[in-house]
Amino acid sequence: MFTGIVTDVGEVLAVERLGEGLSRLTIGCIYVGGSIAIGASIACAGICLTAVATGVRERRTTFDVHAAAETLATTTATSWGVGTRINLERPLTLGAELGGHLVTGHVDGIAEIIAREDLGDMVRLAVRVPPSLARFVAPKGSVALDGVSLTVNAVERDTFSTLLIPHTLAVTTFGAAQKGTTVNLEVDLMARYAARLMDKA
């Protein structure tokens, strides 16, 4: 479980194709060497992945993860290459401050930024979501885009807008986001369960 509060922007250092529908990625980060346990979960651009190895490369902590066929088919991980920058978050611990919202790391689909409006130090993004997920997005609700907890400002059919403050732009990959950028979308957990309950009613 995560909160959508990014703690580092990592970099893909290596991609190894292991066979049909399986890749191994090496990611560089600022986390303290030895603090990442084998088997630990790390949200990588909003995708919950498991650390299978750790190391050091050029004085930088690294960890390896496997991306399986389902992950590659349903997330932006399929397009990651050497040099790709990704938002990272370590899992939530009991008693820790919940600064964003509850995020599982289970990506629901890929969304697309269709407009970027620079407003001085802030940025407004317009984001188009898959039509099947549009009903889970509501004004003043929460979404996770590439692992970042964001507040929905306005919704129109399958498009919503969100405002990014200077801090978010500085500590995530969204500072470089442009029209046409695709992002991993996780809808709010509560909205998903509420919709499921209504379907059963």
Residue 72 within any structural domain of the chain: yes
Q: What's the length of the chain?
A: 201
pTM of the predicted model over 0.75: yes
* CB 150, CB 86: distance < 8 Å: no
Tally the domains of the chain: 2
Return all residues near 84 (Cβ < 8 A) that are at least 6 apart: 11, 12
Asked whether residue 85 falls in the same domain as residue 113, the answer is: no
Find the domain containing 25 and state its range: 8-89
Task: Please report, for the domain that includes residue 163, its CATH number.
Answer: 2.40.30.20
Residue 70 within any structural domain of the chain: yes
* CB 38, CB 51: distance < 8 Å: yes
Rounded Cα gap, residues 174 and 164, in angstroms: 8
Residue 101 within any structural domain of the chain: no
Give, for all 201 residues of the chain, the pLDDT tens digit: 899 999 999 999 999 999 888 999 999 999 998 899 999 999 999 999 999 999 999 889 999 999 999 999 999 999 999 999 999 999 988 777 777 888 999 999 999 999 999 999 999 999 999 999 999 999 999 999 999 999 999 999 999 999 999 999 999 999 999 999 999 999 998 877 777 677 765
* Structure letter (DSSP) for residue 36: S
Return all residues near 124 (Cβ < 8 A) that are at least 6 apart: 116, 117, 153, 161, 162, 163, 164
Asked whether residue 193 falls in the same domain as residue 114, the answer is: yes
Angle at 89 between CA 94 and CA 83, to 5 degrees: 165
